[in-house]
Amino acid sequence: MLPIAISLGDPAGIGPELLNKSLDHLGPSLIFGAQLYCPSPLPAQCQWIPIPTNESVTIGKPNAESGRQAYNSFKKAAEAVKQGKCRALVTLPLAKEYVALSQPGFHGHTDELNLWWGGQSLMTLIGGDLKVALVTDHEALIDVPSLITTKRVLQKARTLRQNIKRYFTKDKEPQLHLLGLNPHAGENGLIGHEEALLNDALEVLTSEGGNWQGPWPADAFFAHHSYGDGVLAMYHDQGLIPVKMLGKKSGVHITLGLPFIRSSPDHGTAFDIAGQNKADPSSFIEALRLAQRL
């Protein structure tokens, strides 16, 4: 069985600690990074793939070098999957602002993978019984309405349906939900007009054989509905707040729409607690389990 590729993330953050606390949960793995940040012996089925460093990094003090190392670890791990050396990718957290110091324009793992593969990647979060994908992800809130187009919604919705069937319902038609953008899902045009195009998208999706419902007011949906097999939210916080509340400390981010599985913890680098033995590995362990299972 091919190993899983693991990128170490920003070495100034909690990534090395999470890895060190999760050694018993590692299956066959290639770990891309500098071993000096995690000196504990690896299980026999695991191997370090060294990433060259210009200088060592101080835990809890991110800088351009820590961002550069995080990016190189991620890139090499992703290349190993693309070359057929690994079967899935699990990424430990990095900080976009420090990666961008050496890689201008960098906007995160998901966007970069989409650029490298030219695919239709879909940022999806899993927590508890909830699977939420996003039409827009790391976008400023002021820009979101202009990005909600019928074309974009259809593309994201089709990717969600295809991948939920492939990985979770095993070709059984999934029950899927679409959230509205505006409060009360627009009140039939009284509070915004974006729901009109969402209704147009739903007609198309239903005509293609999908089992879709909505657009739902987000607050009422998460409070009162069964979640079905997947939910398509309009923007980052609309979808991630309920996932993180339901998933507690074990929520997982998965990138769908790629030719391989990529998962990660649903939290960041936590520089403020790095090196203090306070990091909880639960989300990383779930990300490992999800990659291994799928």
- For 139-152, what is each residue's pLDDT tens digit? 999 999 999 999 99
pTM of the model: 0.91
Tell me, yes or no, whether 32 and 98 share the same domain.
yes
Tell me, yes or no, whether 12 and 24 share the same domain.
yes
* CATH number, domain containing residue 195: 3.40.718.10
**Position 69 pLDDT exceeds 80:** yes
Name the phi and psi angles at 136, rounded to 5.
Answer: -125, 145
**Position 182 pLDDT exceeds 80:** yes
Tell me, yes or no, whether 71 and 34 share the same domain.
yes
**Position 44 pLDDT exceeds 80:** yes
- C-alpha 81/C-alpha 76 separation (Å) is 9
Per-residue CA distances from 149 to 41, 135, 160, 194, 222 (Å): 50, 9, 17, 8, 23
Instruction: Give the total number of structural domains in the chain.
Output: 2
The domain of 26 spans 1-119+258-294
| pLDDT score of 110 | 86
Tell me, yes or no, whether 241 and 197 share the same domain.
yes
Structure confidence at residue 107 as a pLDDT band (50, 70, 90): confident
What is the residue-averaged pLDDT of the chain?
93
Tell me, yes or no, whether 84 and 109 share the same domain.
yes
Higher pLDDT, 155 or 38: 155
> Which amino acid is residue 25, in one-letter code?
H
